[in-house]
Amino acid sequence: MDLLKSTGDILSPLVIITDPANLEIDVNINKVITATFNMPMDALTFNATTFKISQGGTDITGSVSYTGVTASFTPTAMLSSNTTYTAVLTKNIKNADGVNLDSDYVWTFTTGEDVALMVISTDPSNNAIDVGLQKL
Protein backbone atom coordinates (compact mmCIF):
# COMPACT_ATOMS: atom_id res chain seq x y z
CA MET A 1 0.00 0.00 0.00
CA ASP A 2 1.39 3.39 -1.00
CA LEU A 3 1.06 5.53 2.12
CA LEU A 4 2.32 8.74 0.53
CA LYS A 5 0.80 10.56 -2.41
CA SER A 6 2.98 13.28 -3.80
CA THR A 7 1.79 16.33 -5.68
CA GLY A 8 5.17 17.75 -6.60
CA ASP A 9 7.11 18.35 -3.39
CA ILE A 10 3.98 18.33 -1.23
CA LEU A 11 2.74 15.10 0.34
CA SER A 12 -1.03 14.80 0.44
CA PRO A 13 -2.74 13.25 3.45
CA LEU A 14 -4.41 9.88 2.91
CA VAL A 15 -6.87 7.80 4.90
CA ILE A 16 -5.14 4.45 5.43
CA ILE A 17 -7.56 2.63 7.76
CA THR A 18 -11.21 3.03 8.66
CA ASP A 19 -13.06 1.23 11.42
CA PRO A 20 -15.49 -0.06 10.46
CA ALA A 21 -13.99 -0.89 7.08
CA ASN A 22 -15.70 0.00 3.81
CA LEU A 23 -18.67 -2.33 3.19
CA GLU A 24 -18.25 -4.02 6.59
CA ILE A 25 -21.42 -5.70 7.86
CA ASP A 26 -22.68 -6.62 11.33
CA VAL A 27 -21.09 -3.52 12.85
CA ASN A 28 -21.92 -3.02 16.53
CA ILE A 29 -24.65 -0.41 17.02
CA ASN A 30 -22.62 1.39 19.70
CA LYS A 31 -19.52 1.64 17.50
CA VAL A 32 -17.20 4.66 17.53
CA ILE A 33 -16.29 5.29 13.87
CA THR A 34 -12.61 6.02 13.25
CA ALA A 35 -10.31 6.97 10.39
CA THR A 36 -6.52 6.77 10.56
CA PHE A 37 -4.27 8.92 8.39
CA ASN A 38 -0.78 8.45 6.97
CA MET A 39 0.53 11.59 8.68
CA PRO A 40 -0.31 14.04 11.48
CA MET A 41 -3.36 16.14 10.71
CA ASP A 42 -4.58 19.57 11.85
CA ALA A 43 -6.92 18.70 14.73
CA LEU A 44 -8.76 22.01 14.31
CA THR A 45 -10.06 20.92 10.90
CA PHE A 46 -12.05 18.01 12.38
CA ASN A 47 -15.64 18.82 13.32
CA ALA A 48 -19.23 17.79 12.65
CA THR A 49 -19.13 19.28 9.14
CA THR A 50 -15.85 17.66 8.04
CA PHE A 51 -16.43 14.19 9.58
CA LYS A 52 -20.04 13.14 9.03
CA ILE A 53 -22.03 9.96 9.41
CA SER A 54 -25.40 9.79 7.67
CA GLN A 55 -28.23 7.37 7.04
CA GLY A 56 -30.53 7.90 4.10
CA GLY A 57 -29.23 11.44 3.62
CA THR A 58 -29.82 12.47 7.23
CA ASP A 59 -26.75 13.32 9.31
CA ILE A 60 -26.31 11.48 12.60
CA THR A 61 -25.50 13.68 15.59
CA GLY A 62 -22.31 12.98 17.45
CA SER A 63 -18.98 14.35 18.60
CA VAL A 64 -15.75 14.42 16.62
CA SER A 65 -12.26 14.18 18.08
CA TYR A 66 -8.72 13.77 16.78
CA THR A 67 -5.75 12.19 18.58
CA GLY A 68 -2.39 11.06 17.17
CA VAL A 69 -3.22 10.24 13.55
CA THR A 70 -6.79 9.03 14.17
CA ALA A 71 -10.10 10.90 13.95
CA SER A 72 -13.12 9.54 15.81
CA PHE A 73 -16.86 10.10 15.44
CA THR A 74 -18.85 9.10 18.53
CA PRO A 75 -22.60 8.99 17.85
CA THR A 76 -24.77 10.70 20.47
CA ALA A 77 -27.14 7.70 20.46
CA MET A 78 -26.75 4.10 19.41
CA LEU A 79 -26.96 3.50 15.69
CA SER A 80 -30.03 1.68 14.37
CA SER A 81 -29.70 -2.06 13.86
CA ASN A 82 -29.55 -3.59 10.38
CA THR A 83 -29.00 -0.17 8.79
CA THR A 84 -26.52 1.08 6.18
CA TYR A 85 -24.58 4.23 7.07
CA THR A 86 -22.31 6.46 5.01
CA ALA A 87 -19.22 8.07 6.53
CA VAL A 88 -17.63 11.12 4.92
CA LEU A 89 -14.35 12.90 5.60
CA THR A 90 -14.47 16.08 3.54
CA LYS A 91 -11.63 17.54 1.53
CA ASN A 92 -11.64 20.48 3.98
CA ILE A 93 -9.61 18.36 6.40
CA LYS A 94 -5.95 19.38 6.40
CA ASN A 95 -2.69 17.85 7.51
CA ALA A 96 -0.37 19.58 9.99
CA ASP A 97 1.26 21.46 7.08
CA GLY A 98 -2.07 22.84 5.84
CA VAL A 99 -2.47 20.47 2.87
CA ASN A 100 -6.08 19.34 2.26
CA LEU A 101 -7.28 15.85 1.43
CA ASP A 102 -7.38 15.58 -2.37
CA SER A 103 -11.10 14.79 -2.31
CA ASP A 104 -13.87 13.70 0.03
CA TYR A 105 -13.22 10.22 1.45
CA VAL A 106 -16.46 8.21 1.58
CA TRP A 107 -17.20 4.72 2.87
CA THR A 108 -20.25 2.73 3.95
CA PHE A 109 -20.96 0.11 6.57
CA THR A 110 -24.00 -1.78 7.82
CA THR A 111 -24.91 -2.41 11.43
CA GLY A 112 -25.96 -5.78 12.78
CA GLU A 113 -28.52 -6.75 15.37
CA ASP A 114 -28.84 -5.06 18.75
CA VAL A 115 -25.85 -5.14 21.08
CA ALA A 116 -25.16 -8.68 22.25
CA LEU A 117 -25.19 -9.21 25.99
CA MET A 118 -22.03 -10.55 27.53
CA VAL A 119 -21.06 -11.75 30.99
CA ILE A 120 -18.72 -9.27 32.65
CA SER A 121 -18.31 -10.99 36.02
CA THR A 122 -19.43 -14.00 38.02
CA ASP A 123 -19.58 -14.73 41.73
CA PRO A 124 -17.97 -16.96 42.68
CA SER A 125 -15.22 -16.28 40.17
CA ASN A 126 -13.99 -18.90 37.72
CA ASN A 127 -11.93 -21.63 39.42
CA ALA A 128 -12.80 -20.34 42.91
CA ILE A 129 -12.08 -22.79 45.73
CA ASP A 130 -13.62 -23.22 49.17
CA VAL A 131 -16.92 -21.70 48.07
CA GLY A 132 -19.58 -22.10 50.74
CA LEU A 133 -22.56 -24.32 49.93
CA GLN A 134 -24.98 -21.47 50.65
CA LYS A 135 -23.34 -19.07 48.17
CA LEU A 136 -25.99 -17.28 46.09
**Strand ranges, E, within the chain:** 5-7, 10-12, 15-19, 24-27, 33-37, 51-55, 58-59, 62-67, 70-75, 84-89, 105-111
Rounded alpha-carbon distances, angstroms, from residue 3 to 39, 71, 86, 112: 9, 17, 24, 31
Could you give the 3-state DSSP secondary structure of residue 45?
helix
pLDDT tens digits along 88-108: 999 999 999 999 999 999 999
pLDDT the model gives residue 116: 60
> When comparing pLDDT for 10 and 123, which is higher?
123
- Domain boundaries along the sequence of the chain: 5-111
Answer CATH for 5-111 from 2.60.40.1220, 3.40.50.10860, 3.50.50.60, 3.40.1390.30: 2.60.40.1220
- How much is the average pLDDT of 22-44? 98
**pLDDT-based confidence at residue 123 (cuts at 50, 70, 90):** confident
> When comparing pLDDT for 22 and 1, which is higher?
22
How many angstroms separate the CA atoms of 94 and 45, rounded? 6
pLDDT tens digits along 2-26: 455 555 567 899 999 999 999 999 9
**pLDDT-based confidence at residue 121 (cuts at 50, 70, 90):** confident
How many angstroms separate the CA atoms of 1 and 17, rounded? 11
How many angstroms separate the CA atoms of 127 and 135, rounded? 15
> When comparing pLDDT for 73 and 5, which is higher?
73
**Order of all β-strands in the sheet with 33-37:** 15-19, 33-37, 70-75, 62-67
How many angstroms separate the CA atoms of 25 and 33, rounded? 14
